[in-house]
Amino acid sequence: MPVAGLYLVLGGARSGKSRHAETLVEAAPPPWRYIATAEAGDAEMRARIREHRERRGEDWETVEEPLELAAALDRCPAEAPVLVDCLTLWLSNLMAAGGAPEAETDRLIAALEPRGGKTVLVSNEVGLGIVPDNLLARDFRDAAGAMHRALAARAEHVHFMVAGIPMIVKGKP
């Protein structure tokens, strides 16, 4: 059964996922929660994080959580609008830390089920390209695909971004 108010926004790199997700969350009354999974490991990533922060106003509360995503969601009020950006960065962090993607995806879904507020999840669709040439990249691609399938099955809405244009895969705009 779909989780009411749950959106999954997928797309390629720089496809407009985050901006679209922000507009979805901002359709609900503030304050809005932004759970950021990125870690600033280099100057380029620090610049990307800064860009994301600068375009959000003071009605946004940012929570940085690279690993314990389910716990971060549990700490948010159930009715609060939440944006999680980005699941593939979270998955990458999790795999690098030796975590179990399937078990953590199950924990994430369990944390999403009782939520009553709009929750928007952003993730990169990585399964549309060539088969990676190394085991780690193939394992990541496979784990991301499994995570996306599990979340899409529970989401009320699934949007796929192409060149800044949302394509409605499931549910309504």
DSSP conformation letters of 100-157: -HHHHHHHHHHHHTT--S-EEEEEE--TTSPPPSSHHHHHHHHHHHHHHHHHHHHEEE
How far, in whole angstroms, is CA 59 from its chain's centroid? 20
C-alpha to C-alpha distance for 87 and 121, rounded to whole angstroms = 7
Strands of 32-36's sheet, edge to edge?
60-64, 32-36, 82-85, 119-124, 3-11, 155-162, 165-170
C-alpha to C-alpha distance for 87 and 32, rounded to whole angstroms = 18
Beta bridge partners of 172: none
Contact 38, 89 (CB under 8 A): yes
Q: For the chain, how far is it from start to end, CA to CA, in angstroms? A: 19
Identify the active-site residue in 20, 52, 148, 159.
Answer: 52
Is 148 considered catalytic here? no
- Catalytic residue annotation: 52
